[in-house]
Structure 1
Amino acid sequence: MANGTIKTLVFTRFERFWHWCQALLIVGMMFTGFGINGAHDLIAYEQAAFLHRMAAWTLMGLWVFAIFWMFTTGEWKQFIPTVHKLREVVRYYSIDIFNPEAIHPYRKTRKFKHNPLQRLAYLAFMLVIMPAIWGSGLLYLFYNDWPALGLQNWSLEPVAFVHVAAAFGMLLFFIGHVYMVFTATPVTKYLHAMLTGYEEVYPDDSETGVKK
């Protein structure tokens, strides 16, 4: 292939299934969640609340399988943060991307699929946004059981604040994620890779953007 790259399977079948199911569930949760909070009246409150709960339970179940898959396959290593070439990647997406002749500073391989900026973003999503969503959401869901759990002195207001703040964090992540998809050349490159699993990357033994 051009520039020493090879076309190979980068995203497995389960990885693509997890990605698209998660995307649909998150969109559904944002739509119903903002409806519950009165941001729109496109769906009745009772229906929105029911669908929101169903999507939440489904997504939590999917995450259990995804976590099991990541640890049994070793794919969790893809998310280990690094600052090596982070400055160059940030500069590329903030400045150099507007130059048609600019070349992405990160050399993607099957072994190192995510650049340093992606790793930090995904790590924040998995360790900050999602736990905040799940924790506050479960407290919301089992509000009537707080006394039995010894939480009778807690207030629902801060729980609601955390849940809504995390929802906005998820929305920002989603917008940024969709934007980044279309920064590729050609613009359908990343979308095609996540649909078929195949992408042009550098060989694993080539010099990558992450220190080995």
Structure 2
Amino acid sequence: MPRFIKRFATALASASVLALAAAGPAHAQEIRIGALYPLSGGLALLGEESFRGTEIAIAERNAAGGINGQKITLVKADAVDANQAVGEARRLTSVENVVAVFGSYASGVSSAATQVTELAGVPYFELGAVADTITGRGFKYVFRSNSTAKTFASRSVESIVQVVAPSLKADPKSLKIAIVYEDGPY
């Protein structure tokens, strides 16, 4: 089983246990989990691939008996920007009554959606967005399984010093680098 799927399955089990504990003694026939990704627009390809990973993890978990014998049902939501993220997070938490939300790949989408899920008391598991602020706001119900932008930056500098410079037989201080970035939460 790929490492991503194992990490996701662990996060899924944790989310479901948290959500079931919060739901009380009444047990539904299924556990509804939201999947919030940019499924259209400029990030659609990456959003669709991320969603497919979520589908695979859910299918594997269901094949292994679900959670406490209950089948997990995935509720799909498309959010290409912060406004759609807010609307879809509201729909997932209040209309679809999901017990947790997984998403979203995009930092702007995640930053907006997690504000809604936090207020609703619904756990949100970020699987790909890197903006430090997503988990840096002190929210109680927001979790992340991936690295942050700050971690990526420090590891990039570390690799220039420890890998790139030695392979070029150069002093790291003599290297010139360029930083290319986008002007957004990513």
TM normalised by structure 2 equals 0.26
Higher strand share: 2
Larger Rg: 1
Q: Which protein, 1 or 2, shows the higher relative CO under an 8 Å CA cutoff with sep ≥ 6?
A: 1
